[in-house]
Structure 1
Amino acid sequence: MSVEVLPQAKVLAVQQLYQALAAGDRDAIDYLLHPQFVGYAAEGLPLDMGGTHVGPDAMRDNLWWRIGKHFKVRVEPAEFRHLDDGRLLVVGTYRGRARRNRNPLEAAFVHLIGFEADGRMVSLRQLTDTAAWCAALDEAGRLQTIDYQVENGLATICLNRPDERNAINLQMARETLEVTRRIASDRSVRAVLIWANGPALSVGGDIKYFLANNDRGLGDLFIAMTTPFHQAFDLLSRIDAPIVTAAHGAVAGGGLGYVYAADIVFAEPDTKFMTAFSGLGVSGDGGGTWHLPRLIGPRRAAAAYLRNTPISAEEALQWGLINEIVTMLLKN
């Protein structure tokens, strides 16, 4: 026979959880959480904190302890609401600072918390202003391969490895996902511009990086790179803001993903597009095997992939890969 947990007992348990988190009291946290606990943190949080955390250990180590490592923050609940399904809804604000740069953090939150019959918490779903968390953590040099800013509603993603012609390494793949998450969580963004510093938009995967970081095998490295890279483009495909890509120089391999992600593409007259994968004996990534046949037709896409045939700016315009050829683009 189950006994219903009284509403006030739920509020008290949640308040005790917030106090235990502030004190870093692991024993108290473990006492309050049911062994079958599952937590969900808002997608878009920095440091890979977002997503589902199965079990008390995962929630504690991958979310709460990680917050404590990088932030000094307190939870300030403002309202508790008891829902008909037995869960407790908590509305409030996170307030504090990032530890390294002392940037202030103020982020609204909603916690939706479920309880077992013994009074312990079995689920917690967190919604919060992820852009505020990212902004507090951000500091000069944190983004190493991409310059990102939002001004007057325009989010600008500038690939910034000019000496490597913006070849994609693991850092750039991860940062592509990070800035995409910021865009998805920032309601002020009304449009997105993707461009690049240097002689090319992107020549694709960084071959020198692959060869220098092959200790565990290329397969593991490719998985580590393509997972966040593909997550970024999946997220870009679902945002409401229009995306414009400005292409110049070489656009090859995975670098074509920045073209496929766009609603409108401009290119300089000397721009060359090339899949490049057959030259390495690997399959395509960046969504190309889905996008390219639909943009330029299956026969042309097959030639681009199997024969590694380059596509000129004129051909790209005629075939529908780009919208317009322009004579000047920002690239420095």
Structure 2
Amino acid sequence: MEAVSVRHDGKEAVAAELYRALAHGDRERLDRILHPAFEGRTTEGLPLGLGGTYTGSDAMRRGFWGRIARSYDARAEPAGFRHLEDGDLLVTGRYVGEARQGGGKLDAEFSHLLSFEGERITGLVQLTDSARWSEALGADRALSTVDFRVTDGLAELRLDRPHARNALDQAMADDLYEVAQRLAADPDVRAVLITGDGPAFTVGGDIAVFADNAGAGLPGALRRMISPYHEALRLLSRLDAPIVCAAHGAVAGGGLGLLYCADIVLAAEGTKFASGFTSLGLSGDGGNSWFLPRLVGPRRAAEFYFEQRVLDAHEAVEWGLATRVLPAGELADEALAVTRRLADGPTRAHGEIRRLLRETWSATLAEQLAAEADAIARTARTSDASAAVAAFIDKRKPTFQGR
């Protein structure tokens, strides 16, 4: 059956109806406008993992527009309509409104490329200034799945979904990205402690995400969740502040990424470490394919993946996933003490060491030697280095300020 063509003004009317339906949250009207085979593609880099591909009108309505409505009081104001030779309609305008938390103003230009079949929209490709959306949220977006605080230069990040064994869902991915941005922007943070509340550190991806998005919607849902989580891992790995991770219960799947970002991993007796991806028919995320071979070697990494090895805490130390094992009752106190010692250290030197250790995997010996020379010259100019040299001459213990 051939699709019925729609006049130019008819397409504009359908588009205008779309924006009215979005402004009023009219689900029934959206269902009439959007084709069952609808696909939306939104701007990569949007905050809260909003950028990506949404397969199906329901995925777009719930996963994109619905989540925007929860975080922003905003509307799309179309200003221009241009009919293209291929039958698509290009709509330009502005998003106007504010963030619900903090009230940051949103004013961002957009272009929407709309595709049609008959009188229904089959596709929407969005382009907008993602930075404006992030700026509207500001740095103090409320956290729902992560507890975060900074005291005297020591940052504590605690996963806080104990009822779900700290499984990673969209909210936690967004919260981790938010916290990572705060850490990266705060020069007074001198060490970070990552812990998990409840019976497990984290069991990886929340199976509810897979159940709620089964079928064609799953790829888009996973990409939206993984995008902010991976950006959080990238930011954490590049902090000057060293990171301590206190693992207990279970650490699995993509949640292993938080261990990989840490410089010191303390594991409680009885902790289990596992991949679990192939049991779900998935390849993996969380930086596993990059960090794991570098930490344990390619052969053991392959064994961990393909044979679905489950390591106990002592095996994790022997393999190189963890630093040392502690009695469960001592884990919290020792992890805090280690982090406190690091927070009292020379933060700029710690940052240079983190970079050198990270970049050694891709550098030649000559490049690494040059990088060491540059780094030690930079740290020699810090206040901490001057104070430490003076303390050494005076035969006293130095007091570092992290500068």
- Give the TM-score of the pair, scaled to structure 1: 0.60
Q: Distance in 2 between matches of 1:293 and 1:210?
A: 27
Q: Distance in 2 between matches of 1:212 and 1:329?
A: 36
1:1-332 aligned at under 5 Å gives the runs 61=94, 65=96, 69-70=98-99, 98-99=102-103, 133-135=138-140, 138=141, 142-214=142-214, 217-327=217-327, 328-330=330-332
Q: Percent identity at matched positions?
A: 47
Q: Distance in 1 between matches of 2:48 and 2:206?
A: 24
Q: For residues 150 and 164 of structure 1, do their structure 2 counterparts lie closer, same or farther at Cα, with a shift above 3 Å needed?
A: same
Q: For residues 233 and 319 of structure 1, do their structure 2 counterparts lie closer, same or farther at Cα, with a shift above 3 Å needed?
A: same
Structure having the larger proportion of residues in helix? 2
C-alpha deviation, 1:213, in angstroms: 3.5
Indicate conservation of the 8 Å contact 1:46/1:178, yes or no.
no
Q: Distance in 2 between matches of 1:324 and 1:261?
A: 16
Post-superposition Cα deviations, 1:164-195, rounded to whole Å, max 9, x if no partner, equal: 10011111111111100010011111111110
Post-superposition Cα deviations, 1:191-235, rounded to whole Å, max 9, x if no partner, equal: 111100000010001112320244751101111111111111111
Q: Distance in 2 between matches of 1:46 and 1:226?
A: 12
| 2:331 counterpart SS class | coil
Q: For residues 252 and 193 of structure 1, do their structure 2 counterparts lie closer, same or farther at Cα, with a shift above 3 Å needed?
A: same
C-alpha deviation, 1:284, in angstroms: 1.3
Indicate conservation of the 8 Å contact 1:177/1:229, yes or no.
yes
Runs of 4+, deviation exceeding 6 Å: 45-49
| 2:163 counterpart SS class | helix
Q: For residues 271 and 61 of structure 1, do their structure 2 counterparts lie closer, same or farther at Cα, with a shift above 3 Å needed?
A: farther
Q: For residues 61 and 152 of structure 1, do their structure 2 counterparts lie closer, same or farther at Cα, with a shift above 3 Å needed?
A: farther
Q: Distance in 2 between matches of 1:250 and 1:48?
A: 26
Indicate conservation of the 8 Å contact 1:278/1:307, yes or no.
no
C-alpha deviation, 1:99, in angstroms: 4.0
Q: Which amino acid aligns with 1:272?
A: K
C-alpha deviation, 1:311, in angstroms: 1.1
Computing the radius of gyration from Cα coordinates, the structure with the larger value is 2
| 2:195 counterpart SS class | strand
Q: Distance in 2 between matches of 1:314 and 1:244?
A: 18
| 1:267 counterpart SS class | strand
The number of residues matched between the two structures is: 225
Post-superposition Cα deviations, 1:91-117, rounded to whole Å, max 9, x if no partner, equal: xxxxxx9349xxxxxxxxxxxxxxxxx
